[in-house]
Amino acid sequence: MSNSSVTVERMVLSQPVLGSRRFSNYFWAVVVSIGGIGFLLAGLSSYFKVNLLPVSNPLALAFIPQGIALTFYGVAGTLLATYLWVAILLDIGGGYNKFDRAAGEITIFRNGFPGKNRRIELKSQLADAQAVRVDIKDGLSPRRTLYVRIKGRREIPLTRVGEPISLTELETQGADLARFLGVPLEGL
């Protein structure tokens, strides 16, 4: 939700929401892939007595217990890496928040996991918006979230999950949205 785009007439406010295609997810997917494949190849090398790794010599390892443990960790790491790459590919959690004065509609859209509910889309009337709330919790696990309160529904989070945005950016986005919707800004 770092970039907001508003048309010249100020009829539509659209905010993209960053999902799983973040630098940290790419970093961990690469690290886990390299580690998982390395452990798997080391375990298989000890079983087949053929060096499958160009950087070390796992032939000296006994398959039981070292090789089997390496194979287990390699399979687990490879499965975790596959999960991370699929989440990045599908951009889980990514989407947009769209506030359209012309249509009188609020649309919150997010990508989900494949299956019955692959895409999450919430639509409400613009007139049902009651407030924009800023939630700030600092500490070991900081949370900085922007919510919109809609009549007859729970508060709907508008910001990305995982990486807290700066206080300045959060306050600016909250104030811009509250001004655009004509509702109060709460929580500051």
Q: Does residue 156 contact residue 145 with C-beta atoms inside 8 Å?
A: no
CB 158 within 8 A of CB 146: yes
> How confident is the model at residue 50, as a pLDDT?
93
Average pLDDT for residues 31-41, to the nearest whole number? 96
How many angstroms separate the CA atoms of 95 and 111, rounded? 6
Q: Which domains does the chain have, with CATH numbers?
A: 5-19+94-186 (2.30.29), 25-90 (no CATH)
* 78 pLDDT more than 60: yes
pLDDT digits (tens, 9 = 90+) for 88-132: 999 998 999 999 998 999 999 998 887 767 888 899 999 999 999
Confidence tier at 159 by pLDDT (50, 70, 90): confident
- The rounded mean pLDDT for the chain is 88
